C-alpha cells in the first residue's frame, strides 16, 4: 500500500498547473452515455476515480480511452448491459451518476446503492424521488436501485436539501425527457454548470445551470461534442493553503479564480496577499505565520466542505483560535485525530472543531481516511518538524493528479514509498 514521506520545514514557492476538475469530469463522463456521436474531452485529470468510471462505462459497452495527455475519446456505442454492480460502486460512490443517463436514454438501470463512506451516510433518496417524479418505476431491494421507464416526462422538482450529484443526475435525466423540467433548490456548484455546458454542446436545451433554478426543455437525442473540463478548484485551493501554511509564494496556473471566492476571502483573512488573473491565482504569505480563521462550510457559493480539512491543517499552526463548522456532512472530522497525533490542539464539539494554533507540529505516522482528509495531512506534513509518513494514500490518488510531483516542484521534500510502516525504504 503506497505511502507518502514528507520532511517538513520548506516553503512552497513557484508555479504549479491545476489539473481538470474531478467533480466535473465524473458527471461529464457519465453524460457521454447520452451521446449519439463521437466525444472528445480534454483537461480530464489522470486519477483513480476517472479510471474507475472508464472501467464502469466500458463494462456497460461504452468504450472510451484516455491518452497520456489525459484526453478522453469515445465513439457512439450500443450498450450491452445497464447495471452498475456493488463491487464497483462501493469503490466510488459517484458511480450513481450513470443512473440518470441510463434511465432517460435506455429506459432501464440496475445500480447498486452506493452505501455510506467515511464522511457520512451519503443517502441518494433525492436522486430516486426525482426520477420517480419524472415517471420512472423504481424499486430499491437487495442493495440495488432497479429503475424502469418507457420515456421520462418533465416535472417540477424541488430539492429539500441541496445535492450536487442529485442535481446532476436529474439534469441528465431531464435533457432527454419528454417536455419541460424545472429543478428548484438546485446545486450551484461550478461543476454542475460545467456538466450543463457539456450537455448543451451535445444539443441539450438548458437554462439557469449554476443558479438554484435550472430549466430544461427535453429533446429527442443528443449528438457528440468536443469539450474541455473546467479546472479543479479544490486542488487549486489545496496548493494555496500549502503556500499560506509554509509562508511561501505560489501561483496556480490554468485555474478559475471566480470559482474560489469564499476560499480566497479566507486566505486573505489569514494574512495572505492574494492576486488573481483570468486563469491564475497567486498567494504570497511573505514568510509570515497565518492568523487563525473561522470556517463555516455550506453549499456553493459559500465555503466548500471539500476545503475544510485543509483549513483545519492551516488553523492547527496559525496564530490564534479558529472555529471550523462542518454543516454538510455528519462525519467529516476524521483528519482531526491524526492532526492531534502531530501535536495539533483541536477540540471537537459536535459539528464544530475548535482549533487553537500551536507554534509547530511534530512529524508522526498518520493515516488517510478519505480524500480531503489525506490532503489535510499532507499539508500538515509540510510544516511538521521531522518526517511524516502518510499511510493509505490511495484515498489521495482518487482526487489529486500526481500531487507529490507538483508539491516537489514547489520545493516540498516529499516522496512516495510502498514500504510497510516502520520499515521505510532507505533514502
Ligand atoms: C458531491 O458529493 C461531491 N462529489 C463531494 O466531493 C462534495 O463534498 C459534495 O458534493 C458537497 O459539495 C462529487 O461531485 C462526485 P451532496 P455528493 O449530494 O453529491 C445529503 C470529494 O471530496 N443528501 O451534495 O454526494 C447528503 O447526505 C467529494 O471530491 C441527501 O440527504 O454530495 C449531504 O448531507 C466528497 N439525499 C448533503 O445532501 C440525497 O439524495 C450534500 O450531499 C443526496 C444528498
What distance in angstroms lies between residue 119's CA and the mean position of ligand 1's atoms? 10
Catalytic residue among 117, 259, 270, 312: 117
Evaluate if residue 249 carries a pLDDT over 80: yes
Question: What value does the mean pLDDT of the chain take?
Answer: 96
What distance in angstroms lies between residue 15's CA and the mean position of ligand 1's atoms? 31
Nearest protein Cα to ligand 1, atom 7: 306
Cα-Cα-Cα-Cα dihedral of 179, 183, 189, 193, to 10°? Answer: 20
What distance in angstroms lies between residue 123's CA and the mean position of ligand 1's atoms? 9
- Name beta bridge partners: 141: 144
Q: How many helices (DSSP H) and strands (DSSP E) are in the chain? A: 14, 24
Task: State the Cα–Cα distance between residues 310 and 240, nearest whole angstrom.
Answer: 10
Nearest protein Cα to ligand 1, atom 28: 306
Contacts of 409 (CB under 8 A, 6+ apart): 14, 16
Cell numbers for 38, please give them. Answer: 463521437
Q: Which residue do the cell numbers 514528507 mark?
A: 6
Nearest protein Cα to ligand 1, atom 27: 122
Mutate to test the pocket of ligand 1, among 48, 93, 165 (most ligand atoms within 8 A of CB): 165
pLDDT value of residue 426: 41
Average pLDDT over residues 41-65: 96
> pLDDT category, 119, cuts 50, 70, 90?
confident
Average pLDDT over residues 345-359: 98
Average pLDDT over residues 4-29: 98
Backbone angles phi, psi at 12, to 5 degrees: -90, 125
Q: Which of 183, 176, 191, 140 is nearest to 160 (CA)?
A: 183
Cell numbers for 255, please give them. Answer: 485555474
64-102 as b/e: b if 16+ CB within 10 A: bebeeebebebeebeeeebbbebebbeebbbbbbbbbbb
27-51 as b/e: b if 16+ CB within 10 A: bbbbbbbbbeeebebebbbbbbbbe
Active-site annotation holds for 117: yes
* pTM for this prediction: 0.96
Mutate to test the pocket of ligand 1, among 23, 29, 95, 308 (most ligand atoms within 8 A of CB): 23
SS (H, E, C) 318-351: CECEEEEECCCCCCCCCHHHHHHHCCCEEEEECC
- Total number of residues shown for the chain: 427
pLDDT value of residue 425: 45
> pLDDT category, 420, cuts 50, 70, 90?
low
Q: Which residue do the cell numbers 429533446 mark?
A: 219
> pLDDT category, 424, cuts 50, 70, 90?
very low
Q: Which residues line ligand 1 (CB under 6 A)?
A: 22-23, 26, 94, 120, 122-127, 161, 163-166, 305-306, 328-329, 371-372, 399
Q: Which atom of ligand 1 is nearest to the CA of 398?
A: 29
Nearest protein Cα to ligand 1, atom 42: 163
> pLDDT category, 421, cuts 50, 70, 90?
low
Q: Which atom of ligand 1 is nearest to the CA of 168?
A: 19
Q: Which of 66, 67, 63, 57 is nearest to 76 (CA)?
A: 63
Backbone angles phi, psi at 182, to 5 degrees: -120, 120
What distance in angstroms lies between residue 164's CA and the mean position of ligand 1's atoms? 6
Q: Distances in Å between the alpha carbon of 93 and those of 90, 247, 299? A: 6, 36, 19
Q: Which of 267, 266, 263, 299 is nearest to 284 (CA)?
A: 267
Element (H, E) at 225: strand 225-228
Evaluate if residue 315 carries a pLDDT over 50: yes
Q: State the pairing for strand pair 3-7/387-391.
A: antiparallel
Task: State the Cα–Cα distance between residues 411 and 73, nearest whole angstrom.
Answer: 35
Task: State the Cα–Cα distance between residues 222 and 220, nearest whole angstrom.
Answer: 7
Average pLDDT over residues 155-176: 98
Task: State the Cα–Cα distance between residues 25 and 52, nearest whole angstrom.
Answer: 12
Cell numbers for 115, please give them. Answer: 452505501
- Does residue 173 contact residue 104 with C-beta atoms inside 8 Å? yes
Contacts of 330 (CB under 8 A, 6+ apart): 119, 120, 121, 351
pLDDT value of residue 40: 98
Element (H, E) at 156: strand 156-158
What distance in angstroms lies between residue 205's CA and the mean position of ligand 1's atoms? 25
Evaluate if residue 415 carries a pLDDT over 80: yes
Nearest protein Cα to ligand 1, atom 14: 23
Average pLDDT over residues 85-105: 95
pLDDT value of residue 34: 98
Evaluate if residue 254 carries a pLDDT over 90: yes
Nearest protein Cα to ligand 1, atom 41: 163
pLDDT value of residue 419: 62
Task: State the Cα–Cα distance between residues 312 and 137, nearest whole angstrom.
Answer: 44
- pLDDT, tens digit, for every residue of 188-236? 999 999 999 999 999 999 999 999 999 999 999 999 999 999 999 999 9
> pLDDT category, 120, cuts 50, 70, 90?
confident
Mutate to test the pocket of ligand 1, among 163, 310, 326, 371 (most ligand atoms within 8 A of CB): 163
Amino acid at each position: 500500500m503506497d505511502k507518502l514521506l514528507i520532511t517538513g520545514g520548506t516553503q512552497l514557492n513557484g508555479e504549479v498547473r491545476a489539473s481538470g476538475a474531478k467533480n466535473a469530469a465524473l458527471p461529464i463522463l457519465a453524460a457521454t452515455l447520452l451521446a449519439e456521436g463521437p466525444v472528445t474531452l480534454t483537461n480530464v485529470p489522470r486519477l483513480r476515480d476517472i479510471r474507475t468510471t472508464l472501467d464502469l462505462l466500458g463494462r456497460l459497452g461504452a468504450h472510451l480511452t484516455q491518452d497520456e495527455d489525459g484526453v478522453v475519446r469515445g465513439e457512439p456505442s450500443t450498450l450491452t448491459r445497464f447495471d452498475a454492480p456493488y463491487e464497483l460502486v462501493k469503490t466510488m460512490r459517484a458511480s450513481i451518476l450513470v443512473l440518470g443517463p441510463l434511465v432517460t436514454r435506455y429506459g432501464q438501470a440496475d445500480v447498486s446503492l452506493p452505501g455510506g463512506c467515511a464522511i457520512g451516510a451519503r443517502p441518494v433518496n433525492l436522486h430516486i424521488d426525482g426520477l420517480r417524479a419524472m415517471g420512472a418505476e423504481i424499486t430499491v431491494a437487495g442493495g440495488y436501485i432497479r429503475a424502469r421507464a418507457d420515456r421520462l416526462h418533465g416535472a417540477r422538482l424541488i430539492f429539500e436539501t441541496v445535492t450536487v450529484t442529485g442535481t446532476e443526475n436529474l439534469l441528465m435525466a431531464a435533457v432527454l425527457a419528454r417536455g419541460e423540467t424545472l429543478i428548484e433548490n438546485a446545486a450551484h456548484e461550478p461543476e454542475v454548470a460545467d456538466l450543463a455546458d457539456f450537455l448543451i454542446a451535445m444539443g441539450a436545451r438548458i437554462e439557469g445551470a449554476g443558479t438554484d433554478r435550472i430549466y430544461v426543455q427535453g429533446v429527442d437525442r443528443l449528438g457528440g461534442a468536443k469539450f474541455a473540463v473546467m479546472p479543479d478548484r479544490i486542488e487549486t485551493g489545496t496548493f494555496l493553503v500549502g503556500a499560506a501554511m509554509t509562508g511561501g509564494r505560489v501561483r496556480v496556473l490554468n485555474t478559475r479564480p471566480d470559482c474560489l471566492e469564499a476560499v480566497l476571502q479566507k486566505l486573505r483573512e489569514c494574512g495572505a496577499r492574494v492576486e488573481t488573473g483570468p486563469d491564475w491565482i497567486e498567494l504570497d504569505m511573505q514568510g509570515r505565520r497565518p492568523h487563525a480563521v473561522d470556517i463555516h462550510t455550506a453549499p456553493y457559493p459559500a465555503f466548500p466542505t471539500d476545503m475544510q480539512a485543509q483549513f483545519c491543517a492551516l488553523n492547527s499552526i496559525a496564530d490564534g483560535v479558529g472555529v471550523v463548522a462542518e454543516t454538510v456532512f455528519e462525519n467529516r472530522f476524521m483528519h482531526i485525530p491524526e492532526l492531534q497525533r502531530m501535536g495539533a490542539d483541536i477540540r471537537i464539539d459536535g459539528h464544530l472543531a475548535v482549533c487553537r494554533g500551536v507554534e509547530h507540529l511534530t512529524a508522526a505516522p498518520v493515516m488517510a481516511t478519505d480524500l480531503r482528509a489525506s490532503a489535510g495531512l499532507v499539508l500538515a506534513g509540510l510544516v511538521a518538524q521531522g518526517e511524516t509518513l502518510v499511510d493509505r494514500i490511495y484515498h489521495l490518488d482518487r482526487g489529486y493528479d500526481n500531487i507529490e510531483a507538483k508539491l516537489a516542484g514547489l520545493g516540498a521534500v516529499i516522496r512516495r514509498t510502498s514500504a510497510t510502516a516502520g520499515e521505510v525504504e532507505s533514502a
